[in-house]
């Protein structure tokens, strides 16, 4: 692993769990990013967009505040190792996958597992398994390094 930082990772995980629990308690909603973002475009209710915008803006601002505070030392050098068309194609495939799997990694992996959802367990095992296979193929069979 590169730049393994257990304490910030633990704090970040605790904050994600806290945010997910608060959203469930306050709004009765699951903190799945694909569902929250999708609700902006395909809103079930007209007055349902305000908290979604705040949640998504908070995601971005949280990362920026972390970096600006100086706590994100060593994070500024992250860069993509593939061209933009591959990033766009990957993003589209992730979007399609969230529709097929009826949720994303945060919805299933964090919120669904916490609620002991069998469907979320299967979904999490599928996307973690496919991630492991993808990394193995890219790093060992195709010998692409980061």
What pLDDT, in 10s, does the model give residues 3-57? 677 887 898 889 889 989 999 999 888 888 888 888 888 777 777 788 889 999 9
Provide the whole-model pTM.
0.72
Distance (Å, rounded) from C-alpha 133 to C-alpha 136?
5
| pLDDT recorded at residue 62 | 84
- C-beta of residue 34 within 8 angstroms of C-beta of residue 110: no
- C-beta of residue 37 within 8 angstroms of C-beta of residue 56: yes
Longest Cα pair distance anywhere in the chain, in angstroms? 50
pLDDT tens for residues 107-117? 888 888 888 99
Cα 94–Cα 1–Cα 57 angle in degrees, nearest 5? 45
């Amino acid at each position: 692993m590169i730049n393994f930082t257990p304490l910030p990772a633990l704090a970040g995980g605790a904050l994600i769990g806290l945010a997910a629990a608060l959203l469930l308690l306050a709004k009765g909603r699951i903190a799945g990013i694909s569902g929250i973002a999708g609700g902006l475009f395909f809103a079930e209710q007209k007055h349902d967009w305000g908290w979604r915008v705040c949640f998504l803006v908070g995601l971005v601002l949280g990362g920026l505040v972390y970096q600006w505070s100086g706590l994100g030392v060593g994070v500024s050098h992250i860069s993509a190792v593939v061209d933009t068309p591959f990033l766009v194609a990957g993003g589209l495939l992730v979007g399609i996958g969230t529709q097929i799997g009826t949720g994303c990694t945060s919805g299933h992996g964090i919120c669904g597992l916490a609620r002991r959802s069998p469907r979320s367990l299967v979904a999490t095992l599928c996307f973690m398994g496919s991630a492991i296979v993808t990394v193995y193929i890219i790093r060992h069979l195709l010998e692409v390094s980061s």
